[in-house]
Amino acid sequence: MIPINKVRDLINKHMQLEKELAEGNLDNKKIAEKSKEYSDLNEVVKEAREYASYESEKNDLEKIINDKKNDKEIKEMANLELIDLNKKNKSNEKKIKIFLLPKDEADKKNAIIEIRAGTGGLEASLFASDLFRMYEKVSNKKNWNLEIINLSKSEAGGLKEVIALIKGKNIYSTLKYESGVHRVQRVPDTETQGRVHTSAATVAVLPEAEEVDVKIEDKDLRVDVFRSSGPGGQSVNTTDSAVRITHIPTGIVVSQQDEKSQIRNKEKGLKVLRARVYELERKKIAEARSKDRKSKIGTGDRSERIRTYNFPQGRITDHRINLTLHKLKEFMEGEIFDHMIENLSLRAQEEELKNLD
């Protein structure tokens, strides 16, 4: 049960905002803030009103059912209405509870995705490349803008590491459950005996941090410059344009050498550094708030094995929610990615709701 005063607070807040916006006495900044809040409440105010009137409507129907003066047909109709009312109330209660869950402001942000080859040598780098192509296809289908920040190729044509910024609407909320170890089982092209090999790649998804989200002082940074180099150590250019930035308080290090300009490399490196420092601070706060419990849906542990891609059997399994899809090819094309994310989001909400009860 949700405390009825909380539900009435939602209804009253919606009415108050409606009145303030109609009066037109607000400046542009306040109009934007209150319009956003009003729009958010619009998603749940109908359910809140129905939930608030539930007990009254239920009592009226029970009176009809228990009144000996009423005939059988009227009582049956009232009984059917009561069944529908109870179903609707449960549905409304769940929607309101989800709305009342603590909001993660990072959900609305763009995301920086980092993919690195893990165990498995060259095959792991090829899988890292496959994963990156999958996220590229998802981005194209959703009209997201993907910008490569850093890319390091392997000798086999795969990727040792790739870091990219993905821009769009609510990117982090969509991709945050991708963080962790992705394991692949398949027969490598170089395997002459047809044996299935297992390798892995790690994915980290970080919310893009603006300067207002995290303050990084120049005095806390050590910036080293060096000559860019590609696979095998050959020189990419003849100037010291590559940049290594160390955040002294946290020990976080970011290297950037994709651009020929030292300034551009520093800008890109700071973007990644800011995101990592921001995520570190978010994790500290989250751990302090929930020392006594841990959600089963991980959202950042790079050591957690979250998913297995089995190519011989054409299946993909997410181990956190025990969901197996026999459409691996379609998944790698970005076609059923939303189905996986929706199931992960629902399970995460269920975990949060359990903690509220």
Give me the number of domains the chain comprises: 3
Residue-wise pLDDT tens digits, 228-265:
765 434 444 456 788 999 999 999 999 998 888 889 99
> Do 111 and 16 share a structural domain?
no
Give the H/E segment covering residue 325.
strand 323-325
Q: Tokens in use for 164?
A: 């990219």
> Do 116 and 180 share a structural domain?
yes
State what percent of residues in the chain have pLDDT above 90: 62
**What's the pLDDT score for residue 295?**
53
Mean pLDDT across the chain:
88
> Do 232 and 144 share a structural domain?
no
**Residue 259, SS3 per DSSP:** coil
The mean pLDDT value for 130-147 works out to 96
Of 51-55, 145-149, 160-164, 255-259, least confident by mean pLDDT is 255-259
**What's the pLDDT score for residue 233?**
40
Question: Would the pLDDT of 119 be above 90?
Answer: no
> Do 184 and 166 share a structural domain?
yes
Q: Which distant-in-sequence residues (6+ apart) come within 8 Å of 320 by Cβ?
A: 177, 296, 297, 298, 306, 344, 347
Helical residues (DSSP H) of the chain, grouped into ranges:
4-23, 28-42, 45-52, 54-66, 72-100, 121-141, 171-175, 262-289, 328-332, 337-356
**What's the pLDDT score for residue 235?**
45
- Report the CATH number at residue 167: 3.30.70.1660
> Do 272 and 309 share a structural domain?
no
> Do 313 and 188 share a structural domain?
yes
What range does the domain containing 303 cover?
A: 106-212+297-356
Helical residues (DSSP H) of 104-199, grouped into ranges:
121-141, 171-175
Q: What single string gives the DSSP state of each residue in 7-48?
A: HHHHHHHHHHHHHHHHHT---HHHHHHHHHHHHHHHTTHHHH
Q: How confident is the model at residue 350 (pLDDT cuts 50, 70, 90)?
A: confident
Q: Tokens in use for 73?
A: 């047909």
Instruction: Kindly report the backbone phi and psi dihedral angles of residue 27, in degrees, each rounded to the nearest multiple of 5, phi listed first.
Output: -80, 170
The mean pLDDT value for 132-153 works out to 95
Which of 100, 130, 163 is a domain's end point? Answer: 100
Q: Which distant-in-sequence residues (6+ apart) come within 8 Å of 252 by Cβ?
A: 246, 273, 276, 277, 280
> Do 306 and 260 share a structural domain?
no
Q: How confident is the model at residue 292 (pLDDT cuts 50, 70, 90)?
A: very low
Residue-wise pLDDT tens digits, 171-183:
999 999 999 999 9
User: Would you say 83 and 120 are in contact if contact means Cβ atoms under 8 Å apart?
Assistant: no
**What's the pLDDT score for residue 239?**
64
Closest CA to 222 of 198, 201, 195, 252: 252
> Do 54 and 149 share a structural domain?
no
> Do 279 and 137 share a structural domain?
no
Q: Tokens in use for 183?
A: 């394991």
Residue-wise pLDDT tens digits, 25-62:
888 888 988 998 999 899 899 999 999 999 999 999 99
Q: How far apart (Å, rounded) are the C-alpha atoms in residues 182 and 247?
A: 28
Q: HSE on the CB side for 196, CA within 13 Å?
A: 10
Output the CA torsion 134→135→139→142 (10° steps).
Answer: 70
> Do 324 and 229 share a structural domain?
no
> Do 273 and 316 share a structural domain?
no
Pairing of strands 180-186, 305-310: parallel
- Report the CATH number at residue 280: 3.30.160.20
The mean pLDDT value for 52-76 works out to 94
> Do 204 and 224 share a structural domain?
no
**What's the pLDDT score for residue 212?**
77
The mean pLDDT value for 286-301 works out to 56
**What's the pLDDT score for residue 102?**
76
Output the CA torsion 19→23→26→32 (10° steps).
Answer: 50
Which of 288, 309, 328 is a domain's end point? Answer: 288
Residue-wise pLDDT tens digits, 302-333:
567 999 999 999 999 999 999 999 999 999 99
Which of 43, 75, 100 is a domain's end point? Answer: 100
